[in-house]
Amino acid sequence: MIRLIDVTRRFGDRLAVDRVSLDVAEGESLVLIGGSGSGKTTTCKMINRLVEPSAGRVLVDGQDVAHQSGPRLRRRIGYVFQRLGLFPHMTVAENIGVTPRLLGWDADRVRVRVRELLELVELDADAVAERRPDSLSGGQAQRVAVARALAAAPPVLLMDEPFGALDPLTRERLQGSFERIRRELRLTVVFVTHDMIEAMRLGDRIAVMSDGRLVQVGTARQLYEAPVDATVRELFAAPRRQARLIESRLERGAP
Amino acid sequence: MTELLARLPETTAAHLGLSLAALTLGVAVAVPLGVMAARQPRLAGPLVGVASVLQTIPGLALLAFMVPVLAALGLTSIGVLPALLGLFLYSLLPVLRNTITGLAGVDPAVREAALGVGMTPRESLVQAELPLALPVILAGIRISATWTVGTATLATPVGAPSLGSYIFGGLQTRNYAAVLVGCAASAVLALMIDGLLRALALGLERRRRRVTTASLAGLLGLGAIGASPAVCTLGTRDEAPIVIGAKTFSESQILAQVLAGRITEQTGDAVRTVDSLGSTVVFDALEHGQIDAYVDYSGTLWTTVLGRGEPRPGRTELLDEVGRALAEERGVHVVAALGFENTWVLAMPRAQAERLSVRRLGDLAPHAPRLRMGGDYEIFQRAEWAALVTAYDLRFAEQRTLDPSLMYEAVRSGQVDLVAGLSTDGRLAALDLVVLEDDRAVMPPYDAVILASERLRRERPDVIAAMRRLAGTIDDATMRELNRRVTEAGESPAAAAAWFLGRPLPP
Ligand SMILES: Nc1ncnc2c1ncn2[C@@H]1O[C@H](COP(=O)(O)OP(=O)(O)OP(=O)(O)O)[C@@H](O)[C@H]1O
Ligand SMILES: [Mg+2]
């Protein structure tokens, strides 16, 4: 469904993404994981042409995106931004309905669709539909951003650390909702995170990035059993260290 | 005063129409320019630069400058058009600057999100960036509105009716109530427009449809009120077949009323007067056929209009030469000399003149370095002044430019020691000022003459004949009396003219 072939992106003389090749099958969820500045966001934005590659090709549904109109392409690809980017001057309902309106849906159809989506992301339509984004809690805003990305029923969804700024409980709940939605709608997903637990929970496969390069791609088990380098090994080590720390503290009867 | 107040509604409406038209044009041009500049930052610097320079030009100068520009383009050069154009240019900067600032202030994350959800750059502008920049843009429009309404008072000297006629006219006739009425009415208009714009901003921001609609309706209502008179005067010429011009001082306005009254009386035609035109604006207007007649002075025409200097012929020869030159070179016709001369004179309070024993300009040189000189807007700029200063070797301690009525107030209260005024000014006698004799005859003669346009001469010999009958009918004493009635007794120029016209004509 999504294919990156030797994709490179330079900003000045800095290589943000360096010869990345990647395939995401239809209905698959691929998680991009890596440290800050490793090129995850840039890779994502090259898929819907928010950023143009300096070299290499990107295919979506078999078609080279470079030959498609950017706006039309992006109406077929849902995108949840790292910083959400909800429109502050629009209500929640208007935010969610924005892409369908761009596609020329009539007002009634948009209204029905907005209701459906609010239900899908488990928000109370009557309570939030007419509110402005700045009056929402962080978790509610995240749900609205996901609803907006899904509004025009895109087959492909790009999610850039959508749950990054949430408390662990809310995050877990949202991960659960998202997992359900993704399977219900059979979405093809590229999901960016730097949290290995989230990656294992939501990704069919995991792609590890470091310094703009793709280090290794595979299922969690493959990465765990045959890590190509220390970066990959460390991804599993850190959460386990944390878990052990918690257990040992509690066993020792710490306050 | 009641006569003044009777004209207030239509004057206010005209003022409103002019300001709103200029503001609307300004917004219609500045917002798209601001959008372009925000898109292409390389344009922003030059655009804001040009608008800033326009903004630093004093309002009156900018408006007055439109007159020769329009005349050179062969367009109506006095009236609403130059005022509209000047005010439009004046209104650009705040809107332009705020549009650029407002758009630059939109969160880049929102702009990226707009593209991310599938908007084209244009959709992003209309649906996301402009709505978000709107409060800042509206703030710019509010600043612009206040400036435009205030500056529109300066439309009077270029021939557009505005509340400025109360201010300019009031200053001329020492009618401070009129000045106050003009200022207050203009302030009320500015506050009303500002209030409506603020309500509009609030309504849009908070999505109060009723507030938005009400404020829009209010603005449209004001526009409709303003449109009625403004539209009528926008045409190349108006319904009145004959238009008489006047300069900014009361004598000129009285004489315009005298001409108008005489023409109506003899021909039955409607005549309109355009008051308070700038001194050179009025000649340009006549030359380009925007007005049909007005009264000017032979010396002014000789030096300022024709640019002649020395050697200068005598009084009668100069008048003949001016008549010939104007007809040949400028297509303007001297119809008649009214009979009085109104020359520039230097005058000082009697007590001081006696103390210094100064009676003639020739006596003045040794005292000049200790004397403060007051003059009106024109005198210090004129060639005659330069000639006078050289001939009598005058170097004053200070030269102050003042509005004529303030100038007389200043000499009365001892804030200046002498003034350059006009010999027919009623205030010279009223304040007991001694007119210093021009013992070397440096000043040219200033016979008051009626000038008429080529069109009037060709098409309306009856009107020319009616004006010609005024030849020699106003002597110095009569003119002083007419001036006194207006500047001292508070009569309107029209009333003073009626008093004069009511007198029997000489056979
Ligand atoms: N528009 C840009 N101009 C210049 N440099 C950029 C731009 N966008 C990204 N970069 C640089 O490219 C590199 C990769 O950035 P990117 O945003 O893709 O990283 P990331 O993996 O998403 O990081 P994070 O986890 O912090 O979001 C960084 O060094 C960043 O500074
Ligand atoms: Mg990122």
Three-class DSSP labels, B243-279: EEEEECCHHHHHHHHHHHHHHHHHHCCCEEEEEEECH
Ligand 1 binding pocket mutation candidate from A36, A40, A42 (most atoms within 8 A of CB): A42
Lowest average pLDDT, out of A251-255, B37-41, B192-196, goes to A251-255
- pLDDT value, residue B271: 87
C-alpha count within 13 angstroms, C-beta hemisphere, residue B326: 30
Alpha carbon of residue A173 to chain centroid: 16
**Do B123 and A102 make contact, defined as CB atoms within 8 angstroms?**
yes
Q: Please give all residues whose CB falls under 5 A of ion ligand 2, grouped by chain where several chains appear.
A: A 41
**Do B110 and A85 make contact, defined as CB atoms within 8 angstroms?**
yes
The domain that holds A10 is classified in CATH as 3.40.50.300
- pLDDT value, residue B258: 94
CB pairs under 8 A between A and B: 57
- pLDDT value, residue B3: 60
d(CA B284, CA B266): 27
Q: What is this structure's pTM?
A: 0.76
- pLDDT value, residue B503: 65
CB contact, 8 Å: A22 with chain B? no
- pLDDT value, residue B237: 45
CB contact, 8 Å: A50 with chain B? yes
Percent of chain B with pLDDT over 70: 95
- Could you please state the CATH topology (level 3) that the domain comprising B240-341+445-501 is classified under: D-Maltodextrin-Binding Protein; domain 2 (3.40.190)
Kindly report, residue by residue over A176-225, the tens digit of the pLDDT. 988 988 888 899 999 999 889 899 999 999 999 999 999 999 999 999 99
- pLDDT value, residue B187: 94
Find out whether the peptide bond into B404 is cis, omega within 30 degrees of 0: no
- pLDDT value, residue B226: 79
Q: Where in chain B is the domain with CATH 3.40.190.120?
A: 344-435
Evaluate if residue B455 carries a pLDDT over 70.
yes
Domain B2-236 CATH class label: mainly alpha
Evaluate if residue B137 carries a pLDDT over 70.
yes
Evaluate if residue B4 carries a pLDDT over 80.
no
- pLDDT value, residue B240: 57
Of A83, A88, A98, the CB nearest to B117: A98
Angle (CA) B483 B487 B492, round 5°? 85
pLDDT band at B507 (very low <50, low <70, confident <90, very high): very low
* Burial of residue A246 (number of CB atoms within 10 Å: 0-12, 13-18, 19+): exposed
User: What's the domain range around A197?
Assistant: 1-68+190-255
**Do A85 and B109 make contact, defined as CB atoms within 8 angstroms?**
yes
Nearest alpha carbon, ligand 1 atom 25: A36
Of B112, B118, B132, the CB nearest to A89: B132
Pocket of ligand 1 (CB under 6 A): A 11, 16, 34, 36-42, 82, 194
Q: How far is the CA of B460 from the centre of ligand 2 (A)?
A: 83
Q: Is residue A112 part of a domain?
A: no
Q: Where in chain B is the domain with CATH 1.10.3720.10?
A: 2-236
Q: Which CATH number does the domain B344-435 belong to among 3.40.50.150, 3.40.630.30, 3.40.190.120, 3.30.1450.10?
A: 3.40.190.120
Q: Where in chain B is the domain with CATH 3.40.190.10?
A: 240-341+445-501
Q: How far is the CA of A94 from the centre of ligand 1 (A)?
A: 30
Amino acid at residue number A166? L
Q: How far is the CA of A161 from the centre of ligand 1 (A)?
A: 14
d(CA B267, CA B292): 15
Residue B247 bridge partners (DSSP): B277
Evaluate if residue B400 carries a pLDDT over 90.
no
What is the distance in angstroms between the Cα of B40 and the nearest Cα belonging to chain A?
19
Q: Is residue A38 part of a domain?
A: yes
CB contact, 8 Å: A142 with chain B? no
The DSSP string of B3-65 is HHHHHHHHHHHHHHHHHHHHHHHHHHHHHHHHHHHHH-HHHHHHHHHHHHHHHHS-HHHHHHH
Q: How far is the CA of A80 from the centre of ligand 1 (A)?
A: 17
pLDDT band at B27 (very low <50, low <70, confident <90, very high): very high
Judge if ipTM > 0.85: yes
d(CA A83, CA A162): 8
Q: Is residue A19 part of a domain?
A: yes
d(CA A185, CA A25): 15
Taking the CA of residue A9 as reference, the ligand 1 atom at the shortest distance is: 12
What is the distance in angstroms between the Cα of B41 and the nearest Cα belonging to chain A?
20
- pLDDT value, residue B63: 82
Q: Which one of A50, A82, A98, A103 would you mutate to disrupt binding with B, by most B Cβ within 10 Å of its Cβ?
A: A98
Of B113, B119, B123, the CB nearest to A81: B113
Mean pLDDT of B148-168: 85
Mean pLDDT of B429-446: 86
Q: Is the sign of the CA dihedral A23, A29, A30, A36 positive or negative?
A: positive
Q: Is residue A180 part of a domain?
A: no
Evaluate if residue B506 carries a pLDDT over 50.
no
Q: Which ligand is nearest to the CA of A16?
A: 1
Residue spans of chain A under pLDDT 70: 253-255
- The answer to whether the CB of A151 falls within 8 A of the CB of A77 is no
In the DSSP assignment, the letter for residue B157 is: G
Listing from the earlier edge strand, what are the strands of the sheet with A188-193? A77-80, A156-160, A188-193, A29-34, A205-210, A213-218
Q: Is residue A145 part of a domain?
A: no
**Do A81 and B116 make contact, defined as CB atoms within 8 angstroms?**
yes
Q: Is residue A64 part of a domain?
A: yes
- pLDDT value, residue B290: 82
What is the distance in angstroms between the Cα of A207 and the nearest Cα belonging to chain B?
23
Nearest alpha carbon, ligand 1 atom 12: A16
- pLDDT value, residue B505: 46
Kindly report, residue by residue over B262-281, the tens digit of the pLDDT. 998 888 888 888 877 777 77
- pLDDT value, residue A83: 84
In B105-124, the residues whose Cβ lies within 8 Å of chain A are 107, 109-110, 112-120, 123
| CB atoms inside a 10 Å sphere around CB A227 | 19
- pLDDT value, residue A253: 65
Lowest average pLDDT, out of A233-237, B100-104, B169-173, B242-246, goes to B169-173
Of B116, B123, B132, the CB nearest to A88: B132
pLDDT band at B74 (very low <50, low <70, confident <90, very high): confident
Nearest to B424 by CA among B475, B385, B479, B468: B479
Kindly report, residue by residue over B461-504, the tens digit of the pLDDT. 998 999 999 999 998 889 988 988 888 887 888 889 999 988 65
Taking the CA of residue A45 as reference, the ligand 1 atom at the shortest distance is: 18
Specify the number of domains making up chain A: 1
Residues in A closer than 8 angstroms to B114, CB to CB, are 85, 87
Q: Is residue A87 part of a domain?
A: no
Nearest alpha carbon, ligand 1 atom 18: A39
